[in-house]
Structure 1
Amino acid sequence: MLSSLKSLLPSSPSTPPLAVATKEGLLPELTNGVEVTVDELAFYQIHSQRWQPPKKSVWSQLNGQHASPKKGRGMTFSEVRQYQAGDDVRQIDWRVTARTGKVHTKLFTEERERPVVLFIDLSSSLFSGTTLLLKSVQLCHLASLLSWVALSTQDRVGAVIRYQDQLIEIRPSSSRCAILHLLQQLCQIHNQHIQQSDITTRSHTTSDSALSALVNLCKKGSELIILSDFSTITDDELTAVTHLSKHNRVRAVMLYDPIEVGESPAKGQQSVQGKRHEIQLDLSNKQTRNDIKHSFEQRFAYIAQSLLPYGIALSKISSGQPLLLQLLSDQQ
């Protein structure tokens, strides 16, 4: 029904900060719900240890299931040599054995690191919110947490940030300074958008240019994480994402605001900005709320089903609750 929603927050960047309840330290104290700072995002560094092996991974919380602490099989192929006493018979290379007439076995080395690349979609539709945070702020929080988790497992972290008609590429690195630089870039781009007066209509780069940037950063065996609300991502872009899954592990997270599922403290007639038109909705009407929720669920199901055949899991995160509260809810 609606592809994007106009923020019900005051549009002026000089408005007082939102009243944000920290809920037992689950939100950074500096959070105002509209702008982001590096200090605010650095808050998630101390929480990255919650998802280190052998504990649950952050993805087990997002997807509602346990995930292996290893990356795939946890091993990469090294070489084939002649079988020796004590070798694992499950690793016998039967093709080489048949060709040479002598038993050969495969050797593997432990996979030490996997480059992690975040595709951060800062489309205009992300800069909306009705309850706790703008969707864009929650996206920044999630990007920060995933970066710190990857760094703590000694993985290299990089990003492609899409903003208006720009693509900002940050090459993967395993240093803390590089993570802070990534977060600084993210804060600068985000706050620049907030401070502009007209944030409702922005062009964005084509799927071809975004795909090219991701191909440059995602070398074979990388982990790609798509962070977006998927309101402006086209079918062609979904297809481009599935192409990357052939040689990389790809995950996706959809950010949404509570009003997109029909949940809002607002009552009566409200102005809501769709993809092309502004319309009036009666949020006191139960059927209207149900229609909004049904529209969101249909869109989510469509994207999930489009990605599922390629082994890409789609998760969702609300901007109406602290990120850690949503991730830790299954552990309570």
Structure 2
Amino acid sequence: MELPAYSNGVTLGLKELLFYKQQCVAWLPPARSLWSTMAGQHQSRKLGRGMDFSEVRQYQAGDDIRTIDWRVTARTGKPHTKLFSEEREKPVVIYVDLSANMHMGSRLLLKSVQAAHIAALISWLSFTQKDRIGALIDLGDRQIEIKPKSHQSGILTMLQKMIEGQAEILQQTNRNEVNSMAESLVALNRLAPKGSEVIVISDYTRYHDDMTSLFNQLRQHNLVRLIQIYDPLERGETSFRGVESVSDSRQTRWLNFSAGKTRSGIKKAFETQKDRLELLSRTQGIPYTQLSCGLPLLTQLSGKF
């Protein structure tokens, strides 16, 4: 599998994130929606951009019959249809997890790199739709907050901060202690203006059930979406057979990948965490999607794999 354009799978560079500016045209309405492309069995409800009534005009071939204004049609004797305009300048706040837990990748990309790629695509898509874009970049021991702005400079600041944050974590010889995800959710609740679309991009290894109330608080006034980034190895998918050391932000262990018990144990831990996220999705009405870091982002979104 080839790496995405301008990417080495480990570090982040401006060219690889700017690349998604040209790619976002594929998901501009009315052709199709990025979220409908990513929708799967975990989508708990359909939520889209708000629509404001604009005007009524005479029906034209190709108009959706569901938008016919029957009162005007009855009064004039000719079919008329309602026109709507989308809400503009909606705040979009993207949470990007670049903590040490995300610095894992067994095949193609680190999880943190894939998280940055989807964050870049969503940012450019939102900018093209005239939304205001903000971000909370989680480095594990601290957060970088970027308030929603409608200028391209805001996105470029976000991309640069992700690049610098990724480099900072990679250069750490002694990993700093990773804080709870709860601290980031508190900051996210503070940062996101009411009526925002909030996209939370993480592997959720730092998510626990006691954080449900923070998600509930976030979704009360916002549209929230969950995107889980995972590595194929976390699902027990590997052709490697042998003993290797693996580590996270807390401990290092030697695992025998030749043993089916080892691979199934890894998969079971991943499925348990996925069950927690699915429960959160169902109970809170939050759409939930998964993306692998073992495949290029655009390959997954196009379904060509």
Distance in 1 (alpha carbons) for counterparts of 2:72 and 2:185 = 43
Percent identical residues: 37
Deviation sequence 1:108-151 (CA, Å, 0-9, x none): 98522321001112221101111111111111111101101111
* Aligned twin of 1:306: 280
* Aligned twin of 2:300: 326
1:62 Cα deviation from its structure 2 partner: 1.9
Q: Label 1:322 to 1:49 Cα distance change in 2 as closer, same or farther (>3 A).
A: same
> Normalised by the size of structure 2, how large is the TM-score?
0.82
Greater Cα shift, 281-290 or 242-251: 281-290
1:278 Cα deviation from its structure 2 partner: 2.7
1:316 Cα deviation from its structure 2 partner: 1.0
Distance in 2 (alpha carbons) for counterparts of 1:322 and 1:63 = 18
Deviation sequence 1:146-168 (CA, Å, 0-9, x none): 10111111111100112133221
* Aligned twin of 1:37: 13
Distance in 2 (alpha carbons) for counterparts of 1:279 and 1:69 = 43
SS of the residue 1:324 aligns to: helix
Answer yes or no: is 1:262 the counterpart of 2:240: no
1:276 Cα deviation from its structure 2 partner: 4.4
SS of the residue 2:161 aligns to: helix
* Aligned twin of 2:62: none
1:51 Cα deviation from its structure 2 partner: 0.6
AA partner of residue 260 (structure 1): E
Distance in 2 (alpha carbons) for counterparts of 1:223 and 1:162 = 18
SS of the residue 1:317 aligns to: strand
1:293 Cα deviation from its structure 2 partner: 1.7
In the TM superposition, 1:138-149 aligns within 5 A as 138-149=114-125
1:231 Cα deviation from its structure 2 partner: 0.6
Distance in 1 (alpha carbons) for counterparts of 2:295 and 2:86 = 38
> Normalised by the size of structure 1, how large is the TM-score?
0.76
Q: Label 1:271 to 1:70 Cα distance change in 2 as closer, same or farther (>3 A).
A: closer
* Aligned twin of 1:248: 222
In the TM superposition, 1:59-208 aligns within 5 A as 59-64=35-40, 70-72=48-50, 74-75=51-52, 86=71, 110-199=86-175, 201-204=176-179, 207=182
Number of aligned residue pairs: give it. 279
Q: Label 1:274 to 1:144 Cα distance change in 2 as closer, same or farther (>3 A).
A: closer
Deviation sequence 1:15-72 (CA, Å, 0-9, x none): xxxxx724xxxx11x2111100111111111110111111221112222389979514
**Matched-pair contact (CA < 8 Å) for 1:117–1:223:** yes
**Matched-pair contact (CA < 8 Å) for 2:95–2:137:** yes
* Aligned twin of 1:97: none
* Aligned twin of 2:2: 21
**Matched-pair contact (CA < 8 Å) for 1:167–1:205:** no
